[in-house]
């Protein structure tokens, strides 16, 4: 009898340890996804990157909610460190009836990202779950401001050697703003990155400054656009990685700034 009691105690202790470790690995964001109901949802929107401008966005009908929620309820994966790699993404913006906006993202069929929490997930599950998601519209004006509550302002400067400002233009509006957004977007979707270059050593380059404003704070981030060995690159800050972008973007920005000077 004592042996059975001891054995049952060991089995119970093992179960507690396993359950405790399992629960530790489940983040609140994953629990939210697994328990979400279509009745909780006000709207579901999607952004696909990269994609053609005309297929960058989709606003799902309420009749699509059940199928999408089914995917969220089957979410799986183990918490992982934030990935520094860029790549193709499909992001769902889910607004609840309480007015909260959650993000649910497939990053390169390698990571499931829920509200900025990364999970290493099964590639085949990610690929099959998101395979039928297709965009059917351009991104609406003010979309990111609406879902994040953050206002972005773009400024453009032409820089000379040692970072000397030659020609400033700010803020960018209308089609000029769209050009700035698309140029940064073209960098962010690249998966091949290169070591940083010494920006101050170039005789000429362009800097796109993005200013983020929320209710209580402002912050800015700089992207540098330059040509090297016949190709055009964009660099994330002075010390960040760079990636090749279309030379036509550099030429359009060059034409834009020259038209004001």
User: Given a cut of 80, is residue 253 above it in pLDDT?
Assistant: yes
CA-to-CA dists, residue 125 to 17, 128, 130, 259, angstroms:
28, 5, 9, 50
Residue 120 and residue 23: Cα distance in Å, rounded? 16
Average of per-residue pLDDT values in the chain? 84
Name 48's Cβ contacts closer than 8 Å, sequence gap at least 6: 55, 56, 57, 58, 89, 90, 91, 133, 134, 135
- What is the SS3 assignment for 84? coil
Residues 157-201: pLDDT tens digits? 999 999 899 888 888 887 888 888 888 888 877 768 899 999 999
Q: What are 231's strand-pairing partners?
A: 228
Whether residue 64 contacts residue 17, with contact meaning beta carbons closer than 8 Å, is answered with no
User: Given a cut of 60, is residue 65 above it in pLDDT?
Assistant: yes
Confidence of residue 232 (pLDDT cuts 50, 70, 90): very high
User: Given a cut of 60, is residue 24 above it in pLDDT?
Assistant: no
User: Given a cut of 50, is residue 20 above it in pLDDT?
Assistant: no
Neighbour order of strands in the sheet with 57-59: 57-59, 41-49, 89-96, 101-107, 111-114, 117-120, 78-79
């Amino acid at each position: 009898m004592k042996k059975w009691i001891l054995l049952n105690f060991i089995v119970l202790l093992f179960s507690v340890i396993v359950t405790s470790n399992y629960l530790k690995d489940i983040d609140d964001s994953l629990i939210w996804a697994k328990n979400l109901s279509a009745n909780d949802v006000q709207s579901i929107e999607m952004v696909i990157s990269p994609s053609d401008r005309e297929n960058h966005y989709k606003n799902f009908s309420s009749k699509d909610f059940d199928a999408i929620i089914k995917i969220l309820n089957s979410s799986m994966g183990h918490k992982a460190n934030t990935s520094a790699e860029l790549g193709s993404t499909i992001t769902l913006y889910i607004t609840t009836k309480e007015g909260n906006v959650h993000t649910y993202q497939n990053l390169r069929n390698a990571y499931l990202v829920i509200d900025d929490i990364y999970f290493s997930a099964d590639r085949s599950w990610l690929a099959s779950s998101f395979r039928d998601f297709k965009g059917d519209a351009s991104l609406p004006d003010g979309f990111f401001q609406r879902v994040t509550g953050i206002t972005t302002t773009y400024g453009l400067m032409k820089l000379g050697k040692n970072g000397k400002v030659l020609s400033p233009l700010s803020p960018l509006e209308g089609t000029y703003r769209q050009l700035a957004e698309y140029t940064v977007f073209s960098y962010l979707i690249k998966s091949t990155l290169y070591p940083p270059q010494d920006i101050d050593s170039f005789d000429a380059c362009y800097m796109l400054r993005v200013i983020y404003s929320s209710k209580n704070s402002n912050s800015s981030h700089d992207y540098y656009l330059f040509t090297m060995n016949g190709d055009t690159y964009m660099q994330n800050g002075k010390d960040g990685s760079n990636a090749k972008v279309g030379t036509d973007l550099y030429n359009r920005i060059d034409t834009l700034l020259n038209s004001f000077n």
